[in-house]
Structure 1
Amino acid sequence: MASIYKRGKTWTASVSTKVDGQLRKKTKSGFSTKTEANKWATSIEQLKNTGKLPFGDRLFKDEYWSWYTVFKEPHIETNTKSWYISTYRLISAQWPNMKLSEVTVREMQLLINGYAESHVKSSVTHIKNMIGAFCRYAVDEGMLAKDISRNIVVSSKKKSAGRDTKFLEHDQFLKLIEAAKTQNDIASKMILTACYSGCRYSEIAALSWTDFDFKKNTISINKSWSPKDSTIKGTKTKTSVRTIDMPEEYMNIAKTWTLPDKIMFAGINGKPLTDGSCNAKLNKLLSTFSTSKLTMHGLRHTHASYLLANDIDIQYVSERLGHAGIEITMKVYAHLMNEKRDKEKDKTITLLEKL
């Protein structure tokens, strides 16, 4: 709020706003009447509410980078960092001299639209979310009057890979497991582990023998491999730390493996086999009975799809995958949820018709 007060024979007006967590004042003195002081204060309040006060005229890209390095970079994993950095590069290229006070909803939408021309929707959403997080911070700190990312529409002209490339049908899944069992290379062992556990590549790559409990037939997921840093780190999220129940058949096979203690699936260089090497072996195995192409992450989707299609409770599947909640699981596997809903609808109508 504005402060109006008299000093001697003239009036003074002062308007406060928060910048970087600190209050800053814009003050003007010498008004002959209180009305004039109020009029000036009102005009400044309007500038404040639109984020156009002079001390808010800093470059958008500079403030974004400052926010990232202080509040995000020290606390996030390498893969997530790459999205924040990609966002910074986009902002720097498109808005090299754009001030915070100059960025409007229209400018933001144009930025997102331009990026969407050559990127899939999931990537566009990542960029929008990165900018949105900064905008909410800027609003809280008084650098922006409102969250200019809130009503941005995300779309894309570039289509993502089709569903058939993301997971296997059930008969293909079973054939893959049988094929992997006949192999003795490290990649096949990682593929088999992915099929039975639904774990991410990074989680499998970080496994050690101490994570296996052969009495309870479980695997403990408590760390992950970061290829970019070549180090063992924490899991993707807190909910990713979990204990996974494994079938006795898989555990009996694992007992026969002769592998290193600390990093089970290490190659000759002492590091886990790469995601690319696993994908190459996976598609070589698939080529013997199918034309489908898949990645290790596709095995995670296949594992979950297989369980859900066989009426395993979604809450348990969500916990097994390490999702933060069933909302994420339902979103990722919406197509399966819709299929199950249609089946339940038909069963319900058949039941009711017997009344």
Structure 2
Amino acid sequence: MNTLESISSKPILFCDYYKQWITIYKEGAIRPVTMSKYNMAYRWLVKLIPNLPLADLDRIAYQKLLNDYASEHERQTTMDFHHHLKCAILDAVDEGYISRDPTRKAVIKGKSPRTKKPKYLNQYELHKLLDDLRLTADISMDWLILLIAKTGMRFSEALALTPSDFNLSHQTLTVSKTWDYKGSGGFLPTKNKSSIRKIPLDWQTVIQFAELLRDIPEDKPIFVNDKIYNSTANDILARHCRNAEVPIISIHGLRHTHASLLLFAGVSIASVARRLGHSNITTTQKTYLHIIQELESKDIDIIMRSLSNLNS
């Protein structure tokens, strides 16, 4: 049953409708990693409501679906699941398959969040971590860890780097693509247009990579020789964290560490957002709200001290 027309004599199942909807409207229009989330939502529909007719999807049936999903997931994950379904459901309402919007006033539940692992290191901890890296004459995961810590790049962006992306004379690194490490490999577009950027490099990193890149072809990914996994990089990083006796963070945590250190050093949110490739400053503000609030508290102390020194 590939089309709604072919099953018009029988009740249309919600899972079938949703599968067709994501195939028609999402496949090829969104990034593979996002498409995988829609496909995951479909697999949960098959698991939770395999035989529910689309026409029977009312508010009670939809709320029960969300509740069943929430029994195994945290609230934020349930919210994401709700958002992945809602657009398809609203289209079904517009097309007359459902009489009323069943997602209206939906209540999002979920399990209590797990204890969160540390997301970033402070400056002292980062120094200890970097001191434990084995930076040999050959490119390795340790060099990848160093570069992400110094640039704040995403893991997929760092994997896609080629020697041609390094402008050593101008001390810049161009981010213009990503590497499909979750799929079959190969270059992919960046997360968004804002992710295409030039990142200034410090002179020490320039000197180190000038030597490392000398014999690598200009268009060859410098960190990819075979299939590479995020889990492998995280395991290597975790080993260094344990050796350095600092909190264990993920590769993505190095990106958070980079941004956090810049903010604590007084770099503007706008500059941090550009360096990270965020689509807007709001994303940066939301991600690092706790740090911004801490900095604002320090600012208030400085303001109060300054005002108290003014003569009346």
TM-score bracket for the superposition, by shorter chain length: 0.7 to 0.9
1:240 matched residue in structure 2: 195
Which residue of 121, 124, 131 maps to 2:85? 131
Once structures 1 and 2 are overlaid, which stretch shifts more, 104-113 or 166-175?
104-113
Taking the aligned partners of 1:56 and 1:234, their CA distance within structure 2 comes to: 42
Residue type at the aligned position of 1:288: N
- Cα deviation per residue 1:56-109 (whole Å; 9 max; x = unaligned)? 963221111111001101122222122111101111222222233322333323
User: Structure 1 residues 62 and 256, CA, compared in 2 at 3 Å: closer, same or farther?
Assistant: same
Q: Which residue of 2 aligns with 1:288?
A: 243
Q: 1:149 aligns with which of 103, 108, 133?
A: 103
Please tell me whether the aligned partners of residues 178 and 187 of structure 2 are also in contact (alpha carbons under 8 angstroms): yes
Task: Please tell me whether the aligned partners of residues 194 and 299 of structure 1 are also in contact (alpha carbons under 8 angstroms).
Answer: yes
Aligned partner letter, 2:56: E
Q: C-alpha distance in 2, partners of 1:56/1:246?
A: 62
| 2:222 alignment counterpart | 264
Q: Which amino acid aligns with 1:236?
A: K
Change (3 A) 1:205 1:121: farther
> Secondary structure, in 3 states, of the residue corresponding to 2:50?
coil
- Alignment partner of 2:178 out of 202, 224, 230: 224
The Cα shift of 1:279 comes to 1.5
Question: How far apart are the structure 2 equivalents of 1:351 and 1:145?
Answer: 63
Amino acid at match of 1:108: Y
The structure number with the bigger radius of gyration is: 1
Seen in structure 2, the aligned counterparts of structure 1 residues 285 and 102 have a Cα distance that, compared at 3 Å, is same
Instruction: Give, in whole Å, the separation in 1 of the partners of 2:150 and 2:11.
Output: 55
**Structure 1 CA distance for aligned equivalents of residues 306 and 35 of structure 2:** 53
| Superposition pairs of residues 153-192 of structure 1, within 5 angstroms | 153-164=107-118, 166-180=119-133, 182-184=135-137, 186-192=140-146
Q: Which residue of 2 aligns with 1:345?
A: 300
Quick one: which amino acid aligns to residue 221 of structure 2?
A: I
Identify the residue that residue 31 of structure 2 maps to in structure 1. Answer: 77
Letter of the aligned partner of 1:204 in structure 2? A
Q: Matches of residues 276-355 of structure 1 in structure 2 within 5 Å?
A: 276-355=231-310
1:221 deviates by: 1.0
Instruction: Render the CA deviation track for 1:292-332: whole Å, top value 9, x for unaligned.
Output: 21211111111111111211111111121111111111111
Matches within 5 A, 1:69-108: 69-108=23-62
- How far, CA to CA, are the matches of 1:306 and 1:146 in structure 2? 50
TM-score by length of 1: 0.77
Tell me, yes or no, if the aligned pair for 2:157 and 2:179 is still in contact at 8 Å.
yes
Give the aligned CA root-mean-square deviation in angstroms: 2.5
- What residue identity is the alignment partner of 1:223? K
Distance 1:147 1:345, change over 3 A: farther
Give how far 1:130 is off: 0.5
How far 1:333 sits from its partner (Å)?
A: 1.2
Contact 1:205 1:263 (C-alpha < 8 Å) held by counterparts: yes
> What 5-or-longer segments of structure 2 have no aligned partner?
none
Task: Answer whether contact 1:179 1:285 (CA < 8 A) is retained.
Answer: yes
Helix, strand or coil at the partner of 1:180: coil
Flag the structure with more relative contact order, 1 or 2, with Cα contacts below 8 A and sequence separation at least 6: 2
Q: Given that residues 57 and 98 in structure 2 are in contact (C-alpha distance below 8 angstroms), is that contact kept between their aligned partners in structure 1?
A: no
Query: Are residues 354 and 201 of structure 1, via their aligned partners in 2, closer, same or farther at CA, if it must alter by over 3 Å?
Result: same
| 1:36 alignment partner in structure 2 | none
Against the structure 1 CA distance between its residues 113 and 170, is the aligned structure 2 distance closer, same or farther, given a 3 Å change threshold?
farther
| Secondary structure in 2 matching 1:235 | coil
Once the two structures are TM-superposed, the CA of residue 178 in structure 1 deviates from its matched residue by 3.1
By how many angstroms is 1:351 displaced?
A: 3.3
Runs of at least 5 residues in structure 1 that lack an aligned partner in the other structure:
1-19, 21-53
Q: Report whether the alignment pairs 1:251 with 2:206.
A: yes
Identity %: 29
1:163 Cα deviation after fit: 4.7
1:295 maps to a residue whose letter is S
| Amino acid of the structure 2 residue aligned with 1:214 | L
Secondary structure in 2 aligned to 1:151?
coil
| SS of the residue 1:243 aligns to | strand
